Structure formats: structure tokens, C-alpha cells
Amino acid sequence: MNFSRNFLIAMCTTFVVFCTLYTPQPILPLLAKEFSISPGDAGLLMTVTLLPLGIAPVVYGYFLQAIPAKLMLKVALILLMLDQFAFYLADEFWQLIVLRSLQGLLLPAIFTALMTYCASMAQMGQVRKTMGWYIAATILGGFGGRIISGYFASAFEWHTVFVVLGFMLMIPIIMLRYASADAKISFDRLDSRTVSRVLGHDTFRYIYLILFSLFFVFAGLLNVLPFRLQEIDESVSPFLISSLYVGYLIGIPIAIFSQRITSLLGDDKKGLMTGLLLHTTGLIAYLFTDVALLYFVMFAFSAGFFFIHSTLSGLANHLAVEHRGVVNGLYVSIYYISGALGSWLPAYLYGWLGWDSLIIVFVSVLGVTAWLIMKLRFG
């Protein structure tokens, strides 16, 4: 596929912004110790950012079309950059919560715009491939944010992490000066009638339910995993915790080539079931206590998730003959609502029940996911 200047700018913006989203995750145990709080309370740093991402598309649709895409992205990125710098002055946990909540109000405008922007730039028949590249950029950003966080928290101190990300946000802000001024984002408002029409389609309804259950498990495990690693080995550093996420990068080739892999497997349903089997196998393998082994487990766990995620996203856009903006808006909303729940509830379950019981809960949820996949119909 051809890469336009606007598309490359969108990919760079996606990468840097996703870095900021997942920055706190590998340093959650460090912050829990710093502020004498529980794993569940520390996990709220992820929850308060993900939850607004889930509910904001319903509101943002009412004014997104009225604001030029370039202006909206630039203003949101500048505010996000200032928010990152403000972390340097924070010395109480409630201040971190407030700053992360403000990020949650800014990020939806950026993510929903970028997702629909990428889909609208795709050539005929290239929507699924384009969305694969978008998801690849989100994966690279998710890993980048975690590894940067772990390194700077280990080498310096945790405040430095957020300052570094603030400076990184200057890059897409500058790049936006060279984006086409007439780039438009097609975003349909999430009015109740249009939403009902989309959700009335059985395939879309099952796609969203599959996404919800899948990301709940994925987000939940990744948020609790740093605490599990410290339970296994108390001497593990934030950088070593962040390096565990290297397996997360397997999602990049998976996202880019998901359509080709699905073709080799036969059809979308077989592809989704294969991805779920791989994801579940990786999940069960987290019952082992060998830290070195867990580095390899992340590859299987992440590969399964990202293959399903890429397939579902591409499938939703492919089937969206009309109201593509609503389909994407609902996809983003459900994705992050499930992520918000996954970043909060499992951390408390881990504290109450322990690691093994939490894995059993997750496997049960994936059992429901398998049933939902079997219910999918593409006719």
C-alpha cells in the first residue's frame, strides 16, 4: 500500500500518544510502595484514563465534525504535553489521579480521530490492511511507553518518566505543521437511533461482546503482572518488569499480516478461534513461576490477543457499509470500557483471591468469548 504524508504523521502521533497511555503500568508496584497503597488502588492510574476513553466518543461525536482535524489534534496534543510536565510537580497520589483523569479527557479526541482518519485514507479494498497498520502503531507505542517508563524509573526516579514523555509529544506537534490542512475526519454522531441500528446487527453485537471480554482479560493480566513478578522475586526492578513486555511486540507483524493469516486459516471464524486458543494457552502458562519462562509466554499471550483484535477491527470496518464513524466510535468505546474494568477489578481480585484463582477467573471469561465467536455469522 502507498503511504501518504498524512498517514505517516498519523502513525507517529499514534505511537507517541499510546506511549503516554501505558506509561504508569510497569511502575505501579513502585508507586504503590511510594504512596503506601494497594495494587487495586495503584491500578486506578490506568482506570481513570481508560474509563473516559470509553465514554467520551458518545459525547465527542457532537462537536468533532465542527472542528478541523488538524486543529483538534494540535490543541489536544499541546494540552497532553503540558499535563505530562505537570507530573514533575506531583507529590501526592490524588494529584496523579487528577492528572491521569485529565489525560483521559484529552485522549479520546485523538484516538477516535486517528482511527477514523486512517480508515478514511484507505484505498478501496485496503481498509483492513490500513487498520492493521494503525493497530501496529498502537502496539509499538504501548511497548515503547512501558520500556521508557521502566528504564527511566530505574535509572533516575519516577517523576522523570512523565517529563520524558512530555518532550516526546513535541515531535507529533511539530509534524502536524506539515499535515494537509484540508484533511477531514468522517465521524458520525453516536445518536441513540444510529447506535441502535448498528447494535441491532447481530454480527456487530457479537464483535463488541468478544472485544469486551477479550480486552478485560488482556488488560487485567498486564496490569496485575508487575505485582506478580514482585511476588515471585522482590528484587525485580521496574526496567526488568517493563522488559517482560517485549513479547507485546509480536502484535506488530500479527496486526499487519492478520488478513493474510486469516486467509491461510480459511475464514474469520477459524482465525478468531485459533487466536483465542493461542491467547488462552499463554494465559494458563502464567501459572508457572519461572520469570525467564514468562518472557516467552508473553509472545503467545499477546499474539493471540492482537490477532483477534486486528481481525475484529478490520472486520467491523469491512462490514460497515454506512455509519463507519459510529462503528469505530462504539469499537473504541467498548474497547476502553472493558480495559478500564480490567485495570481495576482484577487487581482487587488478585489481592483477595491470589494469582491462581485470578487465572481461573480469566479462563472462565475466555470460555464465554469462545461461545460468542461460535455465534458469529457474516451473512
Total number of domains constituting the chain: 1
Angle at which helix 28-35 crosses helix 93-121, to 10 degrees, equals: 160
Across 93-106, average pLDDT: 94
pLDDT at residue 238 is higher than 80 = yes
pLDDT reading at 181 higher than 50: yes
CATH of the domain at 179: 1.20.1250.20
> What is the per-residue DSSP string for 39-88?
HHHHTHHHHHHHHHHHHHHHHHHHHHTTS-HHHHHHHHHHHHHHHHHHGG
Q: Is the pLDDT of residue 255 over 90?
A: no
Q: How far apart are CA 342 and CA 345, in angstroms?
A: 6
**Between residues 362 and 130, which one has the greater pLDDT?**
362
Residue range of the domain that includes 207: 5-375
Question: What pLDDT score does 239 carry?
Answer: 94
Q: Which pTM was predicted?
A: 0.87
pLDDT beyond 70 at 331 = yes
pLDDT in tens, 109-129: 787 667 666 656 655 555 666
Percentage of the chain surpassing pLDDT 90?
Answer: 54
DSSP-derived letter for residue 178 is: G
* Phi and psi torsions of 82, nearest 5°: -65, -35
Alpha helices in the chain (DSSP H): 5-21, 28-35, 39-42, 44-64, 69-86, 93-121, 127-155, 158-168, 170-175, 192-199, 202-232, 238-243, 251-256, 258-265, 268-285, 291-319, 324-353, 355-375
Q: What is residue 42's predicted lDDT score, i.e. its pLDDT?
A: 94
Q: Where are the alpha helices (DSSP H) in 233-290?
A: 238-243, 251-256, 258-265, 268-285
pLDDT in tens, 185-236: 555 556 677 777 777 778 888 999 999 999 999 999 999 999 999 999 988 9
Query: What per-residue confidence (pLDDT) applies to 126?
Result: 58
Q: Say if residue 182's pLDDT is above 50.
A: no
Segment 262-303, tens digit of pLDDT: 778 877 888 899 999 999 999 999 999 998 899 899 999 999
**pLDDT for the residue 241:** 93
DSSP state, 122?
Answer: P
Give yes or no for residue 145 having a pLDDT over 90: yes
